[in-house]
Amino acid sequence: MLTPINLCENTARQEKFRVGFLIAGVQKADTSSLFDILAQHSGIGPSRRKEVHYFDDESLDWLRPDYNRYHTWFERQPGKSIYGEATPIYVYWPTSLDRVREYNPSMKLVILFRDPVQRAYSHWCSERRKGREPRSFAHAIREGRARLSNPSTLDDAQRWHSYVERGWYANQLSRALSLFPTENILALDCHCMRRDPSHLITQVTTFIGLSPFSTSVKIMHVNRRRAGPNLTPPSFEDIRLLADAFAEDLAVFRKLVEFKIGHWPTWQLVNGSANVGDVFDELTKTGF
């Protein structure tokens, strides 16, 4: 594991320094790709690793937070006008955004969103590959949710097995909007990373107060889903169950964001413009 370095800066300088933006969510929505692209910008000082996991660290003393510990993940460099990191659990973890606001009330939050059924299945595939999910997808989204039965207990189950819970976007975005000014939150459709990445990157750089890239940018797509022997596709019943679980939340969410979700397979299934088979075909494509 990468170990934070000790920067040769005095306490006064550290106290003045503040990270200026976070890619705060959501998991499995191309946040790694966005982080790696932004790290190429001459004005951005990225964290030394993508996911710092500072504001969701329950082992820290949050009555007296040591921000210097956080700052050791950022190497101060001449010419860097804003520093940022990407920990996509922040928007989901119930205590994170309050801590972020306490740290920097002017923080800029970039939040990428993805079709929630696609996100849930991609999340399960990831945990399966890591050896942290022994259960089938069907079990994980049904009986397996009992692992998260106590929402006040912030444990590994909340991190690893929250396939359904992380897909309730309206609740998460509404909480962010209650804590930060609207102009400090940029909600984006992560599918634009495939359709029009240059436009999405320009939106982000403008939002955090920088000029667009002055040179060509290497567009990369990180953590693509791969086929595997233990990655059984969801059944039609699984898809319908999840679409029903997300329907009410999506109806609220679409009114909170400026982008359209009409192309999301789950919303198409909810509003009757697609059938379960269409959603299944999208889910079983390798790659994204």
CATH code (residue 204): 3.40.50.300
Q: Does residue 82 sit within a domain?
A: yes
The predicted model gives 166-180 an average pLDDT of 98
Domain assignment of residue 3, yes or no = no
Residue 75, pLDDT > 90, answer yes
Distance CA 200, CA 246 (A): 26
Q: Is the pLDDT of residue 95 over 90?
A: yes
What is the number of other CB atoms lying within 10 angstroms of the CB of residue 103? 15
Residue 54 covered by a domain: yes
Lowest mean pLDDT among 1-5, 113-117, 161-165: 1-5
Phi, psi of 134 (to 5 degrees): -85, -10
What is the DSSP annotation of 95-161? THHHHHHHH-TT-EEEEEE--HHHHHHHHHHHHHHTT---S-HHHHTTGGGGGG--TT--SHHHHHS
Residue 5 lies in a domain: no
Name the amino acid, one letter, at 235: S
Q: Averaged over 254-267, what is the pLDDT?
A: 97
What are the tens digits of pLDDT across the range 238-254? Answer: 999 999 999 999 999 99
Q: Is residue 61 part of a domain?
A: yes
Reply yes or no on whether the pLDDT at 200 is more than 90.
Answer: yes
36 domain residue, yes or no: yes
Question: Do the domain assignments include residue 205?
Answer: yes
In DSSP terms, 187 is beta-bridged to 111
Which range marks the domain in which residue 251 is found? 11-283
pLDDT in tens, 16-36: 899 999 999 999 999 999 999
Q: What average pLDDT does the chain have?
A: 91
How much is the pLDDT for 153? 72
Find the helix or strand (DSSP H, E) in which 31 lies: helix 31-38
pLDDT digits 0-9 by tens, 39-54 = 999 999 999 999 999 9
Please tell me the total count of domains within the chain.
Answer: 1
The span from the CA of 66 to the CA of 1, in Å, is 21
Is a pLDDT exceeding 70 seen at residue 130? yes
Whether the pLDDT of residue 225 is over 60: the answer is: no
Neighbours of 211 (CB within 10 A): 11
pLDDT at 227 over 70: no
List, in order, residues 6 or more apart from 23 with CB less than 8 Å away: 31, 34, 35, 38, 84, 85, 86, 87, 88, 110, 111, 112
| Distance of alpha carbon 168 from alpha carbon 242, whole angstroms | 11
Is residue 142 included in any domain, yes or no?
Answer: yes
Q: Residue 10 — very low, low, confident or very high, per pLDDT cuts 50/70/90?
A: very low
- Distance from C-alpha of 239 to C-alpha of 247, rounded to nearest angstrom: 12
